């Protein structure tokens, strides 16, 4: 919107300039002004053209990088996929260094999806709660510093989360998992055999903590944009605070929450180090979420990369390509929702 408003004056600059400078000569220096326009205009055009070209060029560079990522990953992946013995999508093996290689991403797809889903299930409600707390519940004196703190937490490097997760969180979860096992062990999904809690569920909890800040931030911004009139109207009708939130804030913020969650999901899907430090991986699908084992795309790449042969690296690149496409879809979807929402709420903002 902004762009379309001020681009016309820019594009029409020479003309504006002409009409703008005309009154000036009366008081100023006519001889120079008379001579100036013809040579200066060509100079202007050159400088403008160069600068415009440069800035346009960097925009194109970004697109080229994105395309290059896809092209190079595909190029490396295609070669190794052609000689892959196993089915890339369904094989439960990862013997990429063997000759011929035999590998598949089924375990990784499962682990990545399960851990991200657990993270989303835990993080989204809590993040929405915190966002509501900051925007509607906390006293103002508390709300601003809180928003800062959440911002700062988003900046904590993932390796530190990983270190904390492995050395502090994991020992604390054993008891909880035994508890789960007592009550829900019969489901099979939540059974626990004891031992270090380096499982996909732990990874999910850690990822939830990690994506909490970003989901909170985006939702909070949306909640703050809710038109005051809507809320006041609801209050005037005698609604309790929860009813105000349910009737005016949440409906307005729904797409914001969805896109915030998808941004968080994108982060959780691609998280490497936190998973690599916490999970004790195995290349099998384990039904119980609480028992150690499994793996994710990013973790698998990080932990197998240094020992892999060139062929093994190509196989890891192939799995990286899948991860790239998945995150691309998730992030693109989130952005599309945000963009649509912007158009629709433009009048209110």
Partner 1 sequence: MSHATTTPAAGGPAPGATPRLSSARLPRWTPWVVALGSVAAGCAAGLAAGLSSKVQWGLIAGLLFVVANFALTARVQGRRQARDRLATSLVWASFVLALIPLLSLLWVTVERGLKVLDGYFLSHSMGVIADAETGGGIYHAIVGTLEQVGLATLMAVPIGLLTAVYLVEYGTGKLAKAVTFFVDVMTGIPSIVAGLFIFSFWIMILGFQPSGFAGALALAILMMPVVVRSTEEMLKLVPNELREASLALGVPKWRTILKVVLPTSVGGITTGVMLAVARVAGETAPVLLLVWGNPLINMNPFEQGQSSLPLYVYQQYAAGQSASIDRAWAAALVLIAFVMVLNLAARGVARWKAPKTGR
Site for partner 1 in 213-252 (CB under 8 A): 231, 235-236, 238, 240-245
Retrieve residue 164's tokens.
């904390």
- Contact between 259 and 335 (Cβ < 8 Å): yes
CB of 186 to partner 1, least distance (A): 20
Name which of residues 99 to 138 contact partner 1 (CB under 8 A).
125-127, 129-130, 132-133, 136-138
Please give the C-alpha separations between residue 214 and each of 53, 103, 126, 151, 233, in angstroms, as whole numbers: 35, 35, 12, 8, 30
Which residue among 198, 220, 313, 341 contacts partner 1 (CB under 8 A)?
313
The smaller minimum CB distance to partner 1, of residues 190 and 298, is found at: 298
Q: Please tell me whether the peptide bond between 122 and the residue prior to it is cis, using omega within 30 degrees of 0.
A: no
Q: By CB under 8 A, tell whether 186 contacts partner 1.
A: no
Q: By CB under 8 A, tell whether 158 contacts partner 1.
A: yes
- Contact between 94 and 319 (Cβ < 8 Å): no
The smaller minimum CB distance to partner 1, of residues 264 and 293, is found at: 264
Which residue among 25, 145, 188, 332 contacts partner 1 (CB under 8 A)?
332
Q: By CB under 8 A, tell whether 203 contacts partner 1.
A: no
Which residue among 68, 83, 229, 287 contacts partner 1 (CB under 8 A)?
68
Which residue among 81, 113, 163, 233 contacts partner 1 (CB under 8 A)?
163
Retrieve residue 12's tokens.
């029409």
Query: What residues contact 142, with CB distance under 8 A and at least 6 apart?
Result: none
Query: What residues contact 9, with CB distance under 8 A and at least 6 apart?
Result: 16
The maximal CA–CA distance of the chain, rounded, in angstroms, is 95
Count of residues of this chain found to bind partner 1 when the rule CB under 8 A is applied: 117
Name which of residues 77 to 106 contact partner 1 (CB under 8 A).
none
Name which of residues 27 to 56 contact partner 1 (CB under 8 A).
40, 43-44, 47-48, 50-52, 54-56
What letter would DSSP give residue 287?
S
């Amino acid at each position: 919107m902004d762009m379309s408003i001020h681009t016309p004056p820019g594009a029409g600059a020479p003309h504006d300039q002409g009409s703008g400078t005309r009154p000036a000569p009366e008081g100023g220096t006519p001889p120079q002004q008379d001579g100036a326009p013809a040579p200066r205009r060509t100079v202007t055009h050159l400088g403008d053209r160069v600068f415009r070209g440069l800035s346009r060029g960097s925009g194109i560079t970004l697109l080229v990088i994105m395309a290059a990522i896809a092209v190079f990953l595909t190029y490396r992946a295609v070669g190794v996929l052609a000689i892959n013995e196993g089915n890339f999508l369904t094989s439960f093996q990862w013997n990429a260094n063997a000759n011929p290689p035999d590998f598949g991403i089924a375990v990784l797809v499962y682990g990545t999806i399960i851990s991200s889903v657990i993270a989303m299930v835990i993080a989204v409600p809590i993040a929405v709660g915190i966002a509501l707390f900051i925007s509607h519940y906390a006293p103002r004196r508390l709300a601003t510093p809180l928003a800062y703190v959440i911002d700062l937490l988003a900046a904590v490097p993932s390796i530190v989360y990983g270190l904390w997760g492995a050395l502090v969180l994991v020992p604390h979860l054993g008891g909880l998992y035994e508890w789960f096992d007592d009550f829900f062990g019969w489901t099979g999904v939540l059974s626990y055999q004891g031992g270090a809690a380096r499982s996909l569920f732990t990874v999910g909890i850690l990822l939830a903590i990690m994506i909490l800040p970003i989901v909170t931030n985006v939702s909070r911004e949306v909640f703050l944009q809710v038109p005051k009139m809507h809320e006041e109207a609801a209050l005037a009708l005698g609604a309790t605070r929860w009813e105000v939130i349910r009737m005016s804030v949440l409906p307005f913020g729904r797409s914001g929450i969805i896109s915030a969650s998808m941004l968080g999901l994108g982060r959780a899907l691609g998280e490497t180090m936190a998973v690599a430090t916490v999970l004790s991986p195995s290349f099998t699908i384990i039904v119980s979420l609480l028992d150690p084992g499994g793996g994710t795309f990013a973790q698998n790449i990080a932990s197998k990369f240094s020992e892999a042969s060139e062929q093994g690296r190509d196989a890891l690149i192939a799995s990286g390509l899948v991860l790239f496409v998945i995150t691309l879809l998730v992030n693109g979807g989130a952005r599309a929702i945000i963009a649509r929402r912007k158009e629709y709420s433009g009048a209110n903002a």
